[in-house]
């Protein structure tokens, strides 16, 4: 069990290393492929043995081996968080598969399938949300480069694993995803339009609308409604807190909304059924 979890962690850390490239280069409209990893200060290329996720940062003490410039701790934290995401979700999804693997056997396809596809959904969604959150918090944008791959993977999982939406057929699964996308994006477009009329400026970015369409590939419409409610709740608390910390004299200041949507999405994705069940029980009573 430990070995498999460690392997999942290592894969996640490597993905986190790539996410660092996405987070740094995409907002600057730089290519992800044409230039190798390099120091942002002296522009010296970073060799592979100095580019091992997590360990290289610790060994080099977060500094460039050529010029001694300090690297952002973002490199370490993104790789560590992504590694933990892969490891934690692997343990969660592969509970029924691990006993077979420990015996050197491969489980029946229905058992393996019920673990593989949800795990792919977990790591794709959470990794993408991590990158989006980091970029939006820093640059106030949610780039297509982070939403499109997540959307494509989610759409493929919706097609090949309808159970993600609680459906038995592909068409019902696609219909559920479409309904969720129409609801989430539609409500956000209405808020964007009304906010623009009232505040005379952009009240909600199109990136947030695109993000709701992406989330619809992974959640049903009730979960999408929960995401909207939780993001508004968390955003209100976060906005008030930022106002107090920054000592703003007015309420009109920019706050990236993507991180709050991401927080609401994580809660709804993993615990939405529990929260909605609890709420419906209260409503029935």
In tens digits, the chain (285 residues) has pLDDT values of: 788 899 999 999 999 999 998 998 888 888 777 777 766 667 667 766 667 888 888 887 777 776 767 878 888 999 999 999 999 999 999 989 888 888 888 888 899 999 999 999 999 999 999 999 999 988 888 988 889 999 999 999 999 999 999 998 999 999 999 999 999 999 999 988 887 777 666 667 788 999 999 999 999 999 999 999 999 999 888 767 766 666 655 545 567 888 999 999 999 999 998 998 888 777 665
Q: Do 117 and 217 sit in the same domain of this protein?
A: no
How many Å apart are CA 266 and CA 137, to the nearest integer?
A: 17
Q: What would the pLDDT profile of 205-264 be if each residue is shown by its tens digit? A: 788 999 999 999 999 999 999 999 999 999 888 767 766 666 655 545 567 888 999 999
Boundary (domain end) residue, out of 139, 174, 205? 139
Boundary (domain end) residue, out of 139, 157, 187? 139
In the prediction, which pLDDT does 206 show? 84
Q: In terms of Cα–Cα distance, which of 138, 153, 126 is closest to 26? A: 138
Q: Do 177 and 116 sit in the same domain of this protein?
A: no
Q: Do 208 and 126 sit in the same domain of this protein?
A: no
In the prediction, which pLDDT does 218 show? 96
Q: Do 90 and 196 sit in the same domain of this protein?
A: no
pTM of the model: 0.88
The full DSSP string for 222-252 is: HHHHHHHHHHHHHHHHHHHHHHHHHT-SSS-
DSSP code of 213? H
What φ, ψ does residue 265 adopt, rounded to 5°? Answer: -65, -40
**Rounded to 5°, angle at Cα 271 from 267 and 274:** 140
Using a 10 angstrom Cβ sphere, with 0-12 exposed, 13-18 middle and 19 or more buried, the burial of residue 202 is exposed
Q: Do 165 and 281 sit in the same domain of this protein?
A: yes
Q: Do 18 and 113 sit in the same domain of this protein?
A: yes
How many Å apart are CA 87 and CA 2, to the nearest integer?
A: 10
What φ, ψ does residue 227 adopt, rounded to 5°? Answer: -60, -45
Q: Do 10 and 55 sit in the same domain of this protein?
A: yes
Q: Do 55 and 179 sit in the same domain of this protein?
A: no
**Residues of the domain holding 68:** 1-139
How many Å apart are CA 8 and CA 4, to the nearest integer?
A: 6
Q: Do 251 and 267 sit in the same domain of this protein?
A: yes
Q: Do 75 and 156 sit in the same domain of this protein?
A: no
Write down the residue that tokens 């409610």 correspond to: 229
Q: Do 156 and 271 sit in the same domain of this protein?
A: yes
Q: Do 145 and 285 sit in the same domain of this protein?
A: yes
Domain count across the chain: 2
Using a 10 angstrom Cβ sphere, with 0-12 exposed, 13-18 middle and 19 or more buried, the burial of residue 98 is middle
Boundary (domain end) residue, out of 95, 117, 139? 139
DSSP reduced 3-state for 45: strand
């Amino acid at each position: 069990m430990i070995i498999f979890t460690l392997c999942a962690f290592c894969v996640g850390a490597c993905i986190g290393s790539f996410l660092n490239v996405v987070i740094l280069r995409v907002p600057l409209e730089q290519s992800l492929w044409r230039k190798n990893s390099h120091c942002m200060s002296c522009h010296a290329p970073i060799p592979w043995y100095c580019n091992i996720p997590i360990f290289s940062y610790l060994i080099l003490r977060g500094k460039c081996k050529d010029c001694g410039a300090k690297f952002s701790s973002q490199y370490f934290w993104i790789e560590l968080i992504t590694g933990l995401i892969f490891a934690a979700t692997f343990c969660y999804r592969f509970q029924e598969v691990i006993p077979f693997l420990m015996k050197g056997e491969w489980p029946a396809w229905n058992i393996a399938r019920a673990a593989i596809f949800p795990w792919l959904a977990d790591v794709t969604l959470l990794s993408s949300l991590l990158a989006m959150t980091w970029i939006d918090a820093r640059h106030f944008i949610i780039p297509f480069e982070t939403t499109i791959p997540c959307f494509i993977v989610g759409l493929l999982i919706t097609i090949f694993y309808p159970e993600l939406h609680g459906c038995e057929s592909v068409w019902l699964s696609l219909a559920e995803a479409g309904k969720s996308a129409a609801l989430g994006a539609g409500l956000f477009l209405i808020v964007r339009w009304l906010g623009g009329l009232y505040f005379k400026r952009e009240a909600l970015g199109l990136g947030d609308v695109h993000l709701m369409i992406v989330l619809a590939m992974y959640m049903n419409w009730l979960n999408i409604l929960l995401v909207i409610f939780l993001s508004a709740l968390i955003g209100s608390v976060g906005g008030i807190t930022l106002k107090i910390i920054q000592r703003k004299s007015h309420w009109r200041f920019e706050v990236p909304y993507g991180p709050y949507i991401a927080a609401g999405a994580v809660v709804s994705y993993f615990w939405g059924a529990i929260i909605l069940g609890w709420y419906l029980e209260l409503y029935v009573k």
